Structure 1
Amino acid sequence: MLLQQLVNGLTLGSVYALIALGYTMVYGIIGLINFAHGEIYMLGAYMGIVTFSLLTALHLTSPDSGVTLLLMMIVAILFCGAYGVTIERLAYRPLRTAPRLSPLISALGVSIFLQNFVMLAQGPRDKGFPELFIQGGIDLPGGRISAIQLFIMATSVLMMFALHLLVRRTKIGKAMRATAQDQQMASLVGIDVNQVISVTFLIGSALAAVAGVMVGMYYGLINFYIGYMAGIKAFTAAVLGGIGSIPGAMIGGVLLGLIESLGAGYISSEYKDVFAFAILVLVLIFRPSGLLGEDSSKRV
């Protein structure tokens, strides 16, 4: 029982970590909580279904082929990445020098707009996600790791590792870190700050898109509202790990998934969402900077 709950928690935590990375990257660069990020994740799930339906209708690939899953993820990444960049350009960039409340209200407005846009375009009812080729699993003493769980955890780890290499080893990663430290100084040494911010939104949206497709595969049902709750929990994970810290978002997502899974398994599944919000309150009270975040009062 414990092993199974741990497997479930790691699977869920991997998804939270991918979404949380978008929150923490944007906050680290421009100090904004992008509350529309959860809706990008939701759009990724819907684009997975739309792509699958088109491929099946046109008989371009077999439903149980790995190529189908790859194409679903590629289309979701491209679509959501474009959406993320567009949102930054239209809703956030004009308000970059405005009072901090203005971009926050803009973010909430974008979130509500995307929810209602998808509801009108796809309908308010739940949509069934196709069963793809991932079947089977590994039986363990006291639990089982399904193939889809292995796929989700492996994909999440690979994408987080790739992000770490991107930020630490590439030119754009160095530009992102410089912009996060001091935008004005970064622009003075020749860094295109607007381009760096757009790339940050693009990367965060791409990670959320992949998370959306994988969650749709895992649960089998999606709706226009899934982005709200997932976004709140991923934000909690980012705060838990330390908002603005990429390793913190990874750790926070995994910890939150484990806490939620163990709480649902041993306390009550009806209150599983309460655990995330309880963690958020406790972190804000006792360690506002999170596990790996900096204490803002100590910054120069």
Structure 2
Amino acid sequence: MGLTKPFARGGRVLREQPSLLIAGAIAALFVLDLLARLAGFEVGVIGEYTFGGSLSTSRLGGLVWNGIVVGLIFGLAGIGLSMTYSILNFANFSHGDLLTTGAFTGWGAALLVAGWGTGDASALLLVRAGSAPGPNAIGASIIQAPAAIVVGVVVAAAATVLVALAIDRIVYRPMRDRGGIPLLIASIGAALALRYVIQFVFGSSSRGVTATEGVRTTVAGVSVNLHEVTLLVVALALMAGVHLLLQRTTLGKAMRAMADNKDLALVTGIPTERVVMATWIIGGALAGISGYLYVLERGTIEFNLGWFLLLFIFAAVILGGIGSIYGAIVGGLVIGLVHEMSLIWISGDFNAAAAFLIMILALLYRPEGLFSGVKTA
């Protein structure tokens, strides 16, 4: 009797949603193929695709490492987006361009500190928009100029917070009582305006900003960039800090209460406007630092990098469960790992599609996300 009900329930689910069985079978096929590749077996050929083959553990380890690094960026940026949604009840499409704001302002400060005296200060502050030495000559790396990298993190957070507060004051606050759809549309307009201000100030060309000399080493057969290690440490520290803030402080309790029921929070005397401001400060700071760290890992910068990342951040938040910071973190890691490990089977031109496929499956079979029912924390 104990096993009858679960089997009956599972059979009913499969009858009502046969596509779930198909998705499970495809996932199992990929797992078997991965094991065959690691063992060096060639299972067979269908059309132009070869099942099995050869996959070294070092390459697999490299893909997993890259997936974790990319996933931490998605998760860290997704925390702010999830908090904005849970407390202000709208999807903020300008969040991606806040990442770009942090990337440019942070790296402008980092290059200015690292390259002081080596070139024109205005060119360094504008991220080499004019004539300036190259990244290796400046020494823009965690090895050669660690203080400059730390200054860049601080400036990225501060500048992005100021921009986020300004957008809220000018655009969102007057519209706060009009519902989520008008705010969403307004956020698209704010995103476009901010993106083209960044393009006007810093230029539209893509350029390298980080030094590459001495920042790569090998750990357990996997090539590791020390900038990626810096990203890992900073991202984990910030995630732990947000957790402690939400769980152990009065502000965190007020934010969780407002996410659960804004009207009740207002009646009980919680200063909702201060909570909203705190939400923008925390979300803006995390977004700016995420953009800065993404460029630290990637090595290049361009004016539309935040817009490119925004869909992945949304995918992470949706997969984890909108309103849950833990869901955003886990969702970001899942999306990052799928994005990188899909390169085992498909080319780099299509690996973004694999990440979005995971989001679509989540919307079909678990629309509430992995951490359903959890608000803010």
What TM-score, normalized by structure 1, do the two folds share? Answer: 0.92
CA distance in 2, matches of 1:48, 1:100: 31
CA distance in 1, matches of 2:286, 2:293: 11
1:267 aligns with 2:267: no
Larger radius of gyration: 2
Q: Which runs of 5+ in 2 are unaligned?
A: 1-58, 122-137
1:10 aligns with 2:68: yes
In proportion to residue count, which structure has more helix? 1
* Residue 116 (structure 1) aligns with: 196
Residue 65 of structure 1: how far off its partner (Å): 2.3
1:200 aligns with 2:282: no
1:174 aligns with 2:232: no
* Residue 366 (structure 2) aligns with: 287
CA distance in 2, matches of 1:99, 1:25: 17
Letter in 1 for 2:233: A
Secondary structure of 1:269's aligned partner = coil
1:4-83 mapped onto 2 (5 Å cutoff): 4-56=62-114, 58-59=116-117, 63=140, 64-83=144-163
Name the CA shift for 1:124/1:280 in 2 (closer, same or farther; >3 Å). Answer: same
* Residue 209 (structure 1) aligns with: 288
Residue 100 of structure 1: how far off its partner (Å): 2.6
Name the CA shift for 1:265/1:154 in 2 (closer, same or farther; >3 Å). Answer: farther
Residue 186 of structure 1: how far off its partner (Å): 1.2
What TM-score, normalized by structure 2, do the two folds share? Answer: 0.74
Residue 99 of structure 1: how far off its partner (Å): 3.5
CA distance in 2, matches of 1:232, 1:87: 21
Residue 62 of structure 1: how far off its partner (Å): 7.5
Secondary structure of 2:223's aligned partner = strand
* Residue 172 (structure 2) aligns with: 92
Residue 293 of structure 1: how far off its partner (Å): 2.0
> Quick one: which of 309, 328, 344 aligns to 1:249?
328
CA distance in 2, matches of 1:158, 1:180: 24
Residue 265 of structure 1: how far off its partner (Å): 3.5
Letter in 1 for 2:225: S
Letter in 1 for 2:331: G
Kindly, what percent of the aligned residue pairs are identical? 29
Secondary structure of 2:371's aligned partner = coil
CA distance in 1, matches of 2:306, 2:335: 17
Root-mean-square deviation (Å): 2.0
Instruction: Say if 1:65 and 1:132, in contact at 8 Å, map to a contact too.
Output: no
CA distance in 2, matches of 1:270, 1:228: 18
Q: Which runs of 5+ in 1 are unaligned?
A: none
CA distance in 2, matches of 1:264, 1:204: 31
Letter in 2 for 1:87: I
Residue 58 of structure 1: how far off its partner (Å): 4.0
